[in-house]
Amino acid sequence: MKVAISGAGIAGPTLAYWLRRSGHEPTLIEKAPQLRTGGYLIDFWGAGYAVAERMGLAPALQDAGYAVQEVRLINRSGRKVGGFPVASFRRSFSGRFTSLRRGDLAALIYGAIDGHVETVFNDSIADIEQDGSGAQVTFEHGQCRRFDLVIGAGGIHSPVRALVFGPNAKFQTDIGYRVAAFEAQGYRPRDELVYVAYTEPGHMVARFALRDDRTLFLLVYADDDECSADPKDLDDTKVVLRQAFDGVGWECPQIMSQLDQADDVYFDRVSQITMDCWSKGRVALIGDAACCVSLLAGEGTGLAMLQAYVLAGELNAARGDHRVAFQRYEQLLRPLIAGKQRSARNFASTFAPKTSLGLWTRNQASKLLVVPPLADWIIQREFRDDIELPDYAM
């Protein structure tokens, strides 16, 4: 089948890889002029890691990633007040755990299909007309092409979801936080392989030392106003962040001076996407487009790869009958995703607790992960993926 895939982030290229492996002809459509690089740091484990292993990417993942040693929670003066060793996670997942930039993971996945799958950059899907035998897709730049299936993998702001299922606001739930990430060159101090985070009620500032003398910063702040306007451009984003973090302590003033020099800043609301159905006719959604668990959940990329793998596998098992495959894909994954979303709603507040009591409680609770048996129990209870990866003949 000819399959149009909107979005060349994590889910889209993973789906393209497995569709091609099973004999289909995927076409990736990406609005950006080139593959997006950089991005925030993600922890990668579980079912997503297992999919990456089946794609032969595990050694490259470990090379590109960072063996983070510690999450260190500090106070205004830089004194440690909480945190835990990350070794507990690597032990619990038998070493199948790493931390890396989202863009580096995307580049590794895309590298597995580069030269083998058609990719249309600098364009997007503007219209979809379905009929009994396929879908007529109109591109933003005017081109029209016919496909058997259309898959929306364009993230939380999916254009395919808006075209086929309705306005994004219908499915998006604001969790009450905003998040930003950017990189800087030559920042000091550096704490190698330590994720350092400072929090005061409603605000969190974190830094992590990357290779090549670069530092990644993550900013999270509480904003319960669902009607607050999103920044229009890079300059507006910087203004919004400076206002939000004005008066915040620790290294925040010098971090804000680094923000002024940044030429790329990621900014978004912390949201979830919940839908009654992930497909309609010949169109289906995967990844954040279908069921974003929220950026602060920490596992969205792995779940996106899992969804892509299962959808391709079910299409193969159903011998191309998309109705059967779409239904089976959703039946297999919806219970897992629903559980992850419930956990994520509770977990988001641990990044930037809104009260002093909440902050103190978070810091004390983090120390439980210092005790190995207790850490193992908590990690297995809260972070494991309760699903056995299906074996498909792809």
In a domain? residue 83 = no
pLDDT > 90? residue 26: yes
Domain contains 311: yes
Task: Kindly report the CATH number assigned to the domain that includes residue 32.
Answer: 3.50.50.60
Residue 187 resides in a domain:
no
What pLDDT score does 245 carry?
96
Q: What is the pLDDT of residues 117-167, one digit of tens each?
A: 999 999 999 999 999 899 999 999 989 999 999 999 999 999 999 999 999
Asked whether 318 and 325 are in contact (CB, 8 A), the reply is: yes
When pLDDT is averaged across residues 179-206 and rounded to a whole number, the result is 96
- Please give the tally of structural domains in the chain: 1
Beta bridge partners of 82: 73
Tokens of 134: 């396929």
Q: Are strands 98-101 and 80-85 parallel, antiparallel or unpaired?
A: unpaired
Q: In terms of Cα–Cα distance, which of 99, 100, 98, 91 is closest to 380?
A: 91
32-36, 80-84, 119-123, 303-307: the lowest-pLDDT one: 32-36
In a domain, 248, yes or no: no
Q: Which residue has the higher pLDDT, 199 or 347?
A: 199
Please determine, for residue 348, whether its predicted confidence score (pLDDT) is greater than 80: no
Instruction: Assess if residue 140 is contained within a domain.
Output: yes
Band of residue 296 on the pLDDT scale cut at 50, 70, 90: confident
Show the domain range for 311.
Answer: 2-67+98-171+272-356
Per-residue pLDDT tens over the stretch 212-265: 999 999 999 999 887 777 899 999 999 999 999 999 999 999 999 999 999 999
Query: Does residue 365 lie within any of the structural domains?
Result: no
**45-71 average pLDDT score:** 95
Neighbouring C-beta atoms of residue 255, cutoff 10 Å = 22
Whether residue 122 is contained in a domain is answered as: yes
In a domain, 334, yes or no: yes
Q: Indicate if the pLDDT at residue 298 is higher than 70.
A: no
